[in-house]
Structure 1
Amino acid sequence: MEDTMIKLPSELTIAQVDAYQKEIIPLIEESKSITIDDSELVRVDTIGVQFILAVVTYILAQGKSITWQSKSKILKESIKQLGISDAILLQYVMD
């Protein structure tokens, strides 16, 4: 599999992270290029933002490429509110 679309759920909170991680890790491992779509995301908590950062870091550490699609206002607001200034995450989400 070359390209994979990962669609973030409407809610990415501590309650969803474990199940969602199990769902997307195999997709990441089978792909060379990942598109992350956050268009349905309406609620994200601190754990959800940390999870997204971990996923982005994991994808890049494997030498794979990422394309970010949509750029959820909720995600941007959460990143600002939490004071996250991680360059990796900001590069994809905040431009």
Structure 2
Amino acid sequence: MSSTITLSDSLIINQIEQEFAQLSAQFNDSENEIILDAEAVDTVDTSGLQCLLMLIQNAAEQGKTISWLSPSETIKTSAEKLGLSSALKLV
């Protein structure tokens, strides 16, 4: 069984603490297969990608798998520029 986690439209530094806490709780409560819905993300900065990377790594340590549902161009482009596409499992 899978759990879908829908990301907000903005993953930026001034909101990341609240966003991280909320996402972390969703990751912990999720099934073993997590689907990230990032279609609505239109603003992301390095701290937002860092948050996602930490959550993805923590999920993997717990034996959970991650897949993406319609990642926005903003997420894909930002991750590619920082060399994080593979680590974020976008490729």
TM-score between both structures, scaled by the size of structure 2: 0.85
CA distance in 1, matches of 2:27, 2:49: 18
Unaligned runs of 5+ in 2: none
TM-score between both structures, scaled by the size of structure 1: 0.82
Q: 1:52 aligns to what?
A: 52
| Deviation, structure 1 residue 3 | 2.8
CA distance in 2, matches of 1:86, 1:38: 14
1:38 partner amino acid: A
1:9 partner amino acid: S
Q: 1:18 aligns to what?
A: 17
**Structure 1 residues 27 and 44, CA gap change in structure 2 (3 angstroms):** same
Aligned length: 90
CA distance in 2, matches of 1:85, 1:36: 16
More helix by share: 1
Tell me how large the CA RMSD over aligned residues is: 1.6
Unaligned runs of 5+ in 1: none
CA distance in 2, matches of 1:64, 1:36: 12
CA distance in 2, matches of 1:77, 1:21: 21
* Aligned sequence identity (%): 28
CA distance in 1, matches of 2:84, 2:35: 22
- Find out whether 1:63 has 2:63 as its counterpart: yes
- Find out whether 1:73 has 2:70 as its counterpart: no
CA deviation profile, 1:38-88 (whole Å, cap 9, x unmatched):
000001011111111111111111101112110211011112223x24633
How do residues 38-49 of structure 1 correspond to structure 2 at under 5 angstroms?
Answer: 38-49=38-49
